[in-house]
Amino acid sequence: MNNKAMTAIAAMLIAAGPMAVAGGADDDKLVINGEIEMISKAAAPDHLDGALDEVISGWHFRTDETQSLEIDDFDNPAMLFVDQAIDAYDVVEGEAGESCASCHEGVENFAGLTAKMPKIDEDGKLVVMEDLINECRTERMQADEWKWSGNDMQSMVALISLQSRGMPMDVAIDGAAAPYWEQGKEMYYTRYGQLELSCANCHEDNYGNYIRADHLSQGQTNGFPTYRLKQAKLISKHNRFRGCIRDTRAETFAEGSDEFRALELYVASRGNGLSVETPAVRQ
């Protein structure tokens, strides 16, 4: 399977070449493995106050070739990483002699978790999936923490999120989450860097338009971590945020920073109603 998938990708990369397909989101239906019907377009959540009519998965802005890699798990190159995480889930590591499985049993017990992430923990702090995983590793397993955007971490985030695939995103933005959400919203509309561009300038004002070779989507995070063909690996949300801010000729924030946690909550809330699509495939 591995080999076949890799050859298919290589062939597609060559075939894709320079090709511009004008227009906004397409009308294709996103159904995975011929059976999981995804909500890839939904009425915009109320908190957007009419900034968008509809929220749309990034899948609709990709070429047919890239889209096709996501609709069948045998073609989806991200599944190689998910397989690695399935193995890692059972491995005993650290002083405590535990594995993920020894505490959590089957990974399917995590169904629904990603649809609610990020969330507020018992201490009132905003946490994202990487925080939960590293907390288990350092405190419960007494093992080393995983690097934020490294393969081990993002493969495990993908495996856990896959358990929620198809469920609509539904992150809470009220109560203790409210101040973090406000902070993230503020960031989303801040025009960073020498190019003075905000997230909204590209992903709210201009989604559907080409910016040079890139077809701008709404910058939704419901498919993360995504497999990026260009980098041939899983890309974390914070890594994507960092790249987008860097491209405005700005000083970016660090992966795993409190700023990016807040931004992650806000961006996730803009996708409330869209199915969890992890692991998505992007160009």
Length of the chain: 283
244 is a catalytic site residue: yes
Does 191 bind another protein (CB under 8 A)? Our answer is yes
Residues between 202 and 221 with contacts to ligand HEC, criterion CB under 6 A: 202-203, 211, 214, 216-217, 219-221
Here's the x/- map for another protein, 204-243, by CB under 8 A: it reads as -xx--xxxxx--x-------------------------x-
Q: Which residue is nearest to ligand HEC (CB)?
A: 58
Cβ proximity to another protein, 133 vs 245, nearer residue: 245
Here's the x/- map for another protein, 88-127, by CB under 8 A: it reads as ----------------------------------------
Does 42 bind another protein (CB under 8 A)? Our answer is no
Tokens read off for 256? 């795993």
Cβ proximity to ligand HEC, 132 vs 197, nearer residue: 197
Out of 99, 190, 257, 283, the residue judged to bind another protein by CB under 8 A: 190
* Contact call for residues 126 and 261 (beta carbons, < 8 A): yes
DSSP string, 74-141: TT-TTHHHHHHHHHHHT--BTTTTB-HHHHH-SGGGGTTTGGG-SEE-TTS-EE-HHHHHHHIIIIIS
**Rounded to an integer, what distance in angstroms lies between the CA atom of residue 256 and that of residue 57?**
24
84-118 as b/e: b if 16+ CB within 10 A: bbeebbeeeebeeebbbeeeeeebeebbebbbebb
Q: Which residues are annotated as a binding site?
A: 100, 103-104, 136, 199, 202-203, 240, 244
